[in-house]
Every structure is written in structure tokens, then in C-alpha cells.
């Protein structure tokens, strides 16, 4: 009986020749991540441990991104706690305002995540780095504290589900549509504590930004992690961004999968997740009634990358957002912001009547920069549309790709870009 990609990575980091689904292991960590919400809790737990310091100052990343620049006194105190801890422990990868970005876009860009790594982060969307062939998963702040202190973490080895991607997506279909289609198909608990392993020739038709988006939302299907094979595109990305060595793991031919799905990318249509779960999906063609919206958010760790901004700008170019609608664009990192400026994308957004923010999670979790009032509806490129996620419990969030979000901003209702 063979092993999956995830199982091979975990076995190597646990010093074992073989692991099986359900087995409890202790694995060495290549990176421990925390942000301005989760790190203060972990720091306080570390203080209770009475440890001298962190296990390796180069293998910890602290990224204030949720409420930064600070929105209030409480968020300022949280960031102060993280900042002082970083300075006290000489953390190499601490990213302050001006250098920071949304964590799950920033770390790959900085070359801190590569194939074969084991990465934990006190944020559920840490599964993003599986796009590069790493095992990465979200943990609680207490586990983050233990990881920072010891460089190790306990795992129950996950079983796996195989997603065979074939075909080539059409013009307005992106990674967001792929993962929304999958979640709509299997449900928000369809991959509960499973490794979602993506394979197939269709992967070659997905950009790295597409893959980051898909891996990012594995958690929305209940997945422990999402992971892609390491192909030439992934290798080129790592060589461009990182000086770290990487290890390529491939699943055995006789690896055991608890389920298997084939997704024909050529048949997918732009997809929207209706309130209040990511599984409540409809294609743009299945929406028969106009759904008036009040706000559009284009950004987040899911869809704030350069490809996302380029697609949104392509839709918005020469057009204007609907009267009375707020369109908020948030580049995911400073580097993306700068590149978008140099390419003229920010000019396109502003001329279209949108506002452009510094990198921040902001509205995604109802933090700031776009809170919804009672009865308001938002089309968002973020990853969750739970009750009250972006503001009032009687507001609504519709998850979509940057293309659909931008087209909806122009139409003032949920719309497909091909209909503009």
C-alpha cells in the first residue's frame, strides 16, 4: 500500500519510512506562521511555558495583516505585542506596515514556502502553500506556541481525496470558479480532515495564482490541506522567489484515496456561492433573478494577487461602477500594489470609481474597510460568506471570482463579465 504526496511529506518530517491515514505522528516544522490576531494568544501561552526563546528565529513568520494599519486601540495593542515579541526574539521574518501584506500571499512571494515543507500557521487558510507542493495547514494558537518553542507539532495523518483536473478553462473561468465548483459538489464537510490532492493534465492550464486560490479554499470543504504536484511552473515560481532548497514528493501509484472526482475545466462556468455557505453555489447561468448589490470587494488571501487585479481591471477598463455602489480593491502585498501601479491597473480602478486600499485582510473577516450594514449585499472575492462574516448578521455575502465581482460592480447586480 503506497502513500499520497501529503503522507510522504509527513513521513519524512517524522523520521519514518511509512505512515498511514489515522496514525499519530510528531513532525519537524519548516515554518510557523502567526498574524496580529492569533500571535498574541500564542505569545501568552509561550510565556506560561517558561521557555527561553523560539526554536529557530529564521523559521517563524509574523505578519500583522488582519487589522492593519491599526483600526483601533485594541488592534494597536495586539500589533505592539507581536512587534515586541519579534524584536525580543530577533525574528527574521517579521513584516511591519510598509513591508507587510496579506500573509498567505506574502510568504510565497518572499520565498518562505517551498515544495516538501511542513508548515503550520495560526490561521485556517495556511493551506494555501499546498499550491507549491508543501504540506501546510492551519492550527490553533496553542499549537502555534508549541511550534515556536519546539519546532515540532503533532498530527493525525490525513486520508486523501483525489481531484483529477482535465481540460482547459474558458476565458472568464479561474481558480476561484474551480474551487467553488468543487465545494458546491462535495459540500463544506466533503473533505473533512482529508488531504485534497489535485492531479491531472488540466493543472497545466492553471496559473500559479489559480493554484494558490484553489489550495487556499481547501479548508472551506473541511480539508486538512490542499496540495498540487510540483511541475515546471511551480519550480519556476520557487526559483524566482526563493533561495531555499525544495524537495519534490510524488504520490505512489498504489496510494490509497478515500474518494476520487474528475473535474472537466472546459465545462465550468463562472460560479457564485450564495449566502451563507461556500457550498451554496450556482453558475452565473443558473441565476434567473436580478440580485441587487451594494458593495464589491476584490482582494484577500484568496484573490488579491496580480492575476486577479489584471482580470478585474480588464473588466472595469472604460467602464464605471454602478451609482451608489462601493467597490473596494485591495492588492494583497506591497509588491503586488507596486506592480499594479506600474501597469496602470490602479488608475483603471480609480477611473472606474473604485477605491484602492493598502494591503490588509480588512473586510474579509468584518474587520474594517468595508463593513456591511443591515440588509446590504456584497459580492466578494474572499473565502467565507458565513452569517455576519462581513458585518451585520442580516447582511449577505456572495463569493465570486475577480471577473464576476468586477462585472457585478459595473452592473450593480450579480453579473457575468461576458454580459457587459
- DSSP H or E segment with residue 310: helix 306-316
Per-residue pLDDT, averaged over 195-211, amounts to 97
Specify the pLDDT at position 89.
95
3-state helix, strand, coil in the chain (%, to 5): 40, 20, 40
Specify the pLDDT at position 51.
86
Structure confidence at residue 134 as a pLDDT band (50, 70, 90): very high
pLDDT exceeds 90 at position 273: yes
Structure confidence at residue 418 as a pLDDT band (50, 70, 90): confident
pLDDT tens across 388-411, in order? 999 999 999 999 999 999 999 999
pLDDT tens across 13-38, in order? 999 999 999 999 999 999 999 999 99
pLDDT exceeds 90 at position 223: yes
Contact 161, 262 (CB under 8 A): no
**3-class SS at 142?**
helix
pLDDT tens across 147-191, in order? 999 999 999 999 999 999 999 999 999 999 999 999 999 999 999
- Contacts of 149 by beta carbon, 8 Å cutoff, 6+ apart: 46, 49, 51, 54, 55
Per-residue pLDDT, averaged over 307-333, amounts to 97
d(CA 270, CA 285) in angstroms, rounded, equals: 8
Q: Give one DSSP letter per residue of 222-285, joined into a string.
A: T-SEEE----HHHHHHHHHH--S--------TTB--SEEEEEEGGG---EEEPTT-TT-EEEGG
Per-residue pLDDT, averaged over 278-284, amounts to 95
Secondary structure letter of residue 413 according to DSSP? B
Domains, the chain, ordered by start: 5-263 (3.30.499.10), 271-419 (3.30.499.10)
d(CA 411, CA 164) in angstroms, rounded, equals: 35
pLDDT exceeds 90 at position 256: yes
For the record, the C-alpha cell of 174 comes out as 479561474
Specify the pLDDT at position 370.
93
Amino acid at each position: 500500500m503506497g502513500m499520497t504526496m501529503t503522507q510522504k511529506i509527513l513521513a519524512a518530517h517524522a523520521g519514518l519510512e511509512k505512515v498511514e491515514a489515522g496514525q499519530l505522528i510528531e513532525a519537524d516544522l519548516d515554518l510557523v506562521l502567526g498574524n496580529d490576531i492569533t500571535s498574541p494568544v500564542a505569545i501568552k501561552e509561550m510565556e506560561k511555558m517558561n521557555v527561553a526563546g523560539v526554536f529557530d528565529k529564521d523559521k517563524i513568520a509574523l505578519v500583522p495583516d488582519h487589522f492593519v494599519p491599526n483600526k483601533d486601540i485594541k488592534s494597536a495593542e495586539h500589533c505592539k505585542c507581536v512587534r515586541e515579541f519579534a524584536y525580543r526574539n530577533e525574528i527574521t521574518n517579521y513584516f511591519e506596515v510598509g513591508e507587510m501584506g496579506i500573509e498567505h500571499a506574502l510568504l510565497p512571494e518572499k520565498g518562505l514556502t517551498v515544495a516538501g515543507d511542513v508548515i503550520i500557521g495560526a490561521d485556517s487558510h495556511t493551506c494555501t502553500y499546498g499550491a507549491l507542493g508543501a504540506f501546510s495547514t492551519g492550527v490553533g494558537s496553542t499549537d502555534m506556541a508549541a511550534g515556536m518553542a519546539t519546532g515540532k507539532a503533532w498530527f493525525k495523518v490525513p486520508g486523501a481525496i483525489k481531484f483529477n483536473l482535465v481540460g482547459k478553462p474558458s476565458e472568464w473561468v479561474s481558480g476561484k470558479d474551480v474551487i467553488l465548483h468543487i465545494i458546491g459538489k462535495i459540500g463544506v464537510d466533503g473533505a473533512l480532515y482529508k488531504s485534497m490532492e489535485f492531479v491531472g493534465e488540466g493543472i497545466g492550464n492553471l496559473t500559479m495564482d489559480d493554484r494558490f486560490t484553489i489550495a487556499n479554499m481547501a479548508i472551506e470543504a473541511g480539508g486538512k490541506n490542499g496540495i498540487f504536484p510540483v511541475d515546471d511552473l511551480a519550480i519556476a515560481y520557487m526559483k524566482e522567489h526563493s533561495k531555499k532548497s525544495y524537495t519534490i514528493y510524488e504520490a505512489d501509484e498504489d496510494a490509497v484515496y478515500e474518494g476520487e472526482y474528475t473535474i472537466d475545466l472546459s465545462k465550468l462556468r463562472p460560479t457564485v456561492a450564495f449566502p451563507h455557505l461556500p457550498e451554496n453555489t450556482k453558475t452565473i447561468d443558473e441565476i434567473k433573478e436580478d440580485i441587487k448589490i451594494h458593495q464589491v470587494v476584490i482582494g484577500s488571501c484568496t484573490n488579491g494577487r496580480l492575476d486577479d487585479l489584471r482580470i478585474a481591471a480588464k473588466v472595469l477598463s472604460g467602464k464605471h461602477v454602478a451609482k451608489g455602489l462601493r467597490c473596494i480593491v485591495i492588492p494583497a502585498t506591497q509588491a503586488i500594489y507596486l506592480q499594479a501601479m506600474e501597469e496602470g491597473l490602479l488608475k483603471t480602478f480609480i477611473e472606474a470609481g473604485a477605491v484602492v486600499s493598502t494591503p490588509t485582510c480588512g473586510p474579509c473577516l468584518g474587520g474594517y474597510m468595508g463593513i456591511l450594514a443591515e440588509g446590504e449585499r456584497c459580492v466578494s472575492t474572499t473565502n467565507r460568506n458565513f452569517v455576519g462574516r462581513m458585518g451585520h448578521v442580516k447582511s449577505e455575502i456572495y463569493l465570486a471570482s475577480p471577473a464576476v465581482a468586477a462585472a457585478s460592480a459595473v452592473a450593480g447586480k450579480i453579473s457575468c463579465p461576458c454580459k457587459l
